[in-house]
């Protein structure tokens, strides 16, 4: 085999392994910091967003945005201003790439911990996080979220907000819970 071809293949293999390692570390980090990367099923996104009654110009924030599929769809279909926040920089890079491919301009992706982001200008917050993370986030949400904000929790109920539930989409394996603050 030609030595250059051999070296080329070796470099490609190394790049692939480095990419795989970075991806795995990112997934592990996501899990430790609040929730593993498990995206919302694409077939449920439109039904979830429809029930949110989003209005043009409102601020839609996705906490732990993964590949940004909810916030990208909300910006694309409802003309909201989108903010996606995720701790995993690879997912943020992917979200930015996908948003630019869709020519979405009114959208921002922050590579941050959700515990360090201000929620006060959100009109609607979407999250798909682990119950323990939601529990830890609750005092911050109660302090910062404006009255009238819609909070959508996919997968898990927000314990302590039973009196704020306005709607539930029952589904397997994950239901979606709507809260009016
Ligand atoms: C279950 S996934 C949901 C992804 C996306 N929202 C969706 O529904 O397709 C949870 C996401 O939260 C992110 N995450 C976990 N803990 C976080 C934290 N403390 N700050 C920011 N993002 C976090 C993970 O990286 C992961 O992408």
Distance 13 CA to ligand 1 centre (A): 29
Same domain, 52 and 27: no
Residue 85's nearest CA partner among 116, 47, 55 is 116
Confidence at residue 19, expressed as pLDDT on a 0 to 100 scale: 81
- For the stretch 88-110, pLDDT in tens is 999 999 999 999 999 999 999 99
Structure tokens at 56: 């043009």
Confidence at residue 69, expressed as pLDDT on a 0 to 100 scale: 97
What is the Cα–Cα distance from 79 to 77, expressed in whole angstroms? 6
Same domain, 17 and 61: no
Same domain, 81 and 165: yes
Domain count, the chain: 2
107-110 vs 165-169, strand pairing mode: unpaired
- For the stretch 132-165, pLDDT in tens is 999 999 999 999 999 999 999 999 999 999 999 9
Instruction: For ligand 1, pick from 27, 62, 64, 82 the residue to mutate: most ligand atoms within 8 Å of CB.
Output: 64
Q: What is the mean pLDDT of residues 129-133?
A: 95
Same domain, 128 and 65: yes
Helix ranges (H only) for the chain are: 3-33, 42-50, 69-78, 89-101, 131-144
Same domain, 24 and 54: no
Distance 127 CA to ligand 1 centre (A): 8
Same domain, 80 and 103: yes
Q: Whose CA is nearest to atom 17 of ligand 1?
A: 34
Confidence at residue 165, expressed as pLDDT on a 0 to 100 scale: 97
Same domain, 79 and 132: yes
Domain that holds residue 94: 42-180
Q: Which CATH number fits the domain that encloses residue 171?
A: 3.40.50.150
Same domain, 13 and 80: no
- pTM equals 0.88
Same domain, 29 and 46: no
HSE-up (13 A, CA, CB side) for residue 159 = 9
Q: Beta partners for 61?
A: 83, 125
Confidence at residue 163, expressed as pLDDT on a 0 to 100 scale: 94
Q: Whose CA is nearest to atom 11 of ligand 1?
A: 64
């Amino acid at each position: 085999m030609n030595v250059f071809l051999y070296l080329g293949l070796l470099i490609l293999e190394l790049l692939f392994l480095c990419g795989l390692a970075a991806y795995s570390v990112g997934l592990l980090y996501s899990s430790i910091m609040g929730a593993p990367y498990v995206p919302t099923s694409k077939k449920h996104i439109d039904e979830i967003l429809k029930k949110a009654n989003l209005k043009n110009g409102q601020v839609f924030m996705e906490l732990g945005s993964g590949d940004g599929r909810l916030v990208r769809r909300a910006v694309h279909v409802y003309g909201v201003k989108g903010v996606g926040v995720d701790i995993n920089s690879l997912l943020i890079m992917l979200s930015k790439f996908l948003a630019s491919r869709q020519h979405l301009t009114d959208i921002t992706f922050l590579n941050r911990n959700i515990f360090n982001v201000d929620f006060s200008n959100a009109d609607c917050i979407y999250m798909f996080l682990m119950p323990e993370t939601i529990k830890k986030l609750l005092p911050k949400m109660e302090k910062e979220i404006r009255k009238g904000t819609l909070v959508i929790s996919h997968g898990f109920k927000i314990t302590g907000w039973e009196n704020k539930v306005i709607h539930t989409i029952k589904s397997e394996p994950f239901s979606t819970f709507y809260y009016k603050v």
